[in-house]
Structure 1
Amino acid sequence: MEYQRPSYRLPRAHGPKVAVIGGGHGLSTMLRGLKQYTENLSAIVTVADDGGGSGMLRQDLGMLPPGDIRNCMEALANTEPVMRELLHYRFTDGALAGQSFGNLFLAALNGISTSFDIAVSRMSEVLAITGRVLPVTTADVQLEAEFENGASVVGESKIFYCKKQEDCRIKQVRLIPAHPKALPAAMAAIRDADMVVLGPGSLYTSIIPNLLVDGIVEAIQQSDGLKIFVCNVMTQEGETEGYTVSDHIAALFHHSVPGLFDLCLTNSSPIPKGVAARYAEEGAERIRCDTEACTKLGVEIVNRPIATVENGFVRHHPGHLARELILLHAERSVRIAGNRFDYRDDTYLVEDWKKEKR
């Protein structure tokens, strides 16, 4: 006689351990969705930014850039509406014009803490964030880009303008000083993850800089978790004009090791013609998925509806992207102790296999 044990709904506290690696708005967007499925999140964030408000604080106070890290903490925060409004507030007048309160908050914590990563940890406690946000390194690094014509430029914020001027592809990027040491907690989070996600975000200025930090690539290789690259939906002006999906993958492998990941999640949602036309005016277009070339690189393409249009801009949809990542983990991960994972809403269901009663 066969029987089936009852199903159990487990809270997000028991969700999969997910390590996400990147920076910029793409990373924070994905985190907003993932926190609905699991509390076991670790965001490993680049610290190569030197533009905008972050660049000002970096220059004036000698601290690491707070912007990308602040964005991730805002995405994972569980705070009152007033605090969320404060974090987003940007000053409009005086010497602080353009600076965000969130950046200044982290700068103040950095001033009373013994290290930047401790300041980030303390701000995370204040905001009661879901999961952890970790700087990839505490070293003071600059990003250098070398172009195919031999030209080069130092400074993350200068790469866009230099690429437009040189009118050729980026050959490679480097960190100065080279080979900074990764934050031990970041490496541990990656090694211990059930799923490691690279991107989405700017290829050369948000994702790749993390791979140039000593210990990160090795930690990804040592992880037994599912490894996925989330490709952008559109090419990025001043960075990846004309790139296909395989071009993105090849660049990631060139700056790390071949086969760093074997799955790539791409978007299948349609882009309205009017929106596509506006992007074309700026030299950007939908990234073409050249599946055969990706297969030759050893990467399987998974095409899912994960994008949306907001105020005329194409963005990843937080909920749709997170759901597809969680489903991929459920489908591709090795079953442990006879359990099959089936994610529903903000919890996941553990359903025992049918067993023969003897």
Structure 2
Amino acid sequence: MMDKKPNVVVIGGGTGIPSILKDLKDEPINLTAVVTVADDGGSTGILRKLLGMVPMGDLRNCLSAMSTLPKADLDLFEYRFKNNDKFLAHHTIGNLLLAAALEKDGNINNAVQDLCKIMKVNGHIYPACNQALNISAKFTDGTMIQGESEITAAHKSIAKLWTSDARGNEPKALPQAIHAIMNADQIVLGPGSLYTSVMPNLVIPDLGEAVVKSGAQVVYVCNALTQKGETSGYTDADHVKALNKNVGHQFVNYALVNDKKIPANSVDFKKYTEYSYQVKTDPEAMKQQHCQPIYKPFLVMTDGDAVCSGKMIANELMKLVNNK
């Protein structure tokens, strides 16, 4: 009997897409995550510089989110060594396991597939590219900078984004990622930092082209809060416009946008220093981008942070793909 389950591909990175992958993995779909390999901060950044390897952190987050292992096993996989552990300080067990698998296999995709089996992942996880990428940004003031963490720390408005490999050449996407995208019924972008988690995948030329040509329903999960510099003053339509501009097509069909007002003083801006303000809605400007917004209270508050409800987002995505 032919498998009638829809093919859903989620593209992004950071801590954003794992928040919905955890719930999507339990839906009756064929789920694939395509994950950025341009991160250069934290434990990932240290291992990347020290060992010259593909960044691990975003892939590890997705492995945890899509794993069906018991919580005790996942807690060990996510265990982070304490600050006074010298060489191992700040590193997670998962990052070190991925580093070991990469050294054994000599190939990041093979390493991820090995860990998918060990972690009993429900679905597929592919790095966007089989090598580490560098993100470069040109800001609206004309200056340019390279590096994911440097771009975030600059707190400047971004005009254009692009990626390159270690030699400065135009990268090629992983063939398995392209295949998943071309066979998708629904492609989900985000949630996550627009310019440093979502867009680095889409500006890989052949990957962005595949998304446009796939014929899939493209859904953007809009952030609830703006990020200093990167998206300061952005409305929901500005986020979609930036995606369309950098890919070169008006390709986003739907946007899931939180319309729940964030209570005053409920966000800890000292702890989450990259945040600025709640994203404002602009349905008329959305029409100009040929994008249909879906406004609902997709937000939950936790530990002084405003995050999307993975369950609500998953439910809405299932409605859209089943009505496609």
| Contact map agreement 1:179 1:212 (CA 8 A) in 2 | no
What corresponds to 2:137 in structure 1? 145
Displacement of 1:240: 1.3
Distance 2:71 2:254 in 1: 38
What corresponds to 1:224 in structure 2? 215
Distance 2:201 2:61 in 1: 17
Distance 1:262 1:318 in 2: 20
For the residue of structure 2 that corresponds to 1:26, the secondary structure is coil
Displacement of 1:110: 0.6
Displacement of 1:153: 1.2
Alignment partner for residue 75 of structure 1, among 34, 41, 65? 65
Displacement of 1:249: 1.0
For the residue of structure 2 that corresponds to 1:189, the secondary structure is helix
Distance 1:34 1:305 in 2: 19
Highest RCO, 1 vs 2 (Cα 8 Å, sep ≥ 6): 1
**1:66 maps onto 2:56 in alignment:** yes
What corresponds to 1:348 in structure 2? none
What is the aligned residue count? 316
- TM-score if structure 1 supplies the norm length? 0.84
Distance 2:219 2:228 in 1: 24
Task: Give deviations 1:188-208, integer Å, cap 9, x for gaps.
Answer: 101111111111110110111
What corresponds to 1:187 in structure 2? 178
**1:246 maps onto 2:237 in alignment:** yes
What corresponds to 1:316 in structure 2? 308
State the identity as a percent.
36
Alignment partner for residue 294 of structure 1, among 274, 286, 310? 286
| Contact map agreement 1:15 1:37 (CA 8 A) in 2 | no
Distance 2:205 2:143 in 1: 26
Higher Rg: 1
Structure 1 residue ranges without an equivalent (≥5)? 1-12, 334-358
Task: Give deviations 1:160-179, integer Å, cap 9, x for gaps.
Answer: 2223xxxx411111212342
| RMSD between superposed Cα atoms in Å | 1.9
For the residue of structure 2 that corresponds to 1:149, the secondary structure is coil
| Contact map agreement 1:39 1:130 (CA 8 A) in 2 | no
Letter in 2 for 1:66: M
Distance 1:298 1:178 in 2: 33
* Pairing of 1:1-358 with structure 2 (within 5 A): 15-92=5-82, 93-163=85-155, 168-176=156-164, 177-275=168-266, 278=269, 284-331=276-323, 333=324
Distance 2:186 2:176 in 1: 16
| Contact map agreement 1:139 1:181 (CA 8 A) in 2 | no
Structure 1, 169-178 or 40-49: larger mean CA deviation: 169-178
Letter in 1 for 2:33: A
Distance 2:169 2:159 in 1: 17
| Contact map agreement 1:227 1:262 (CA 8 A) in 2 | yes
Distance 2:268 2:90 in 1: 31
For the residue of structure 2 that corresponds to 1:322, the secondary structure is helix
Displacement of 1:36: 1.7
Letter in 2 for 1:328: L
Distance 2:52 2:29 in 1: 33
For the residue of structure 2 that corresponds to 1:251, the secondary structure is helix
Task: Give deviations 1:128-159, integer Å, cap 9, x for gaps.
Answer: 10101100001332111111111111111111
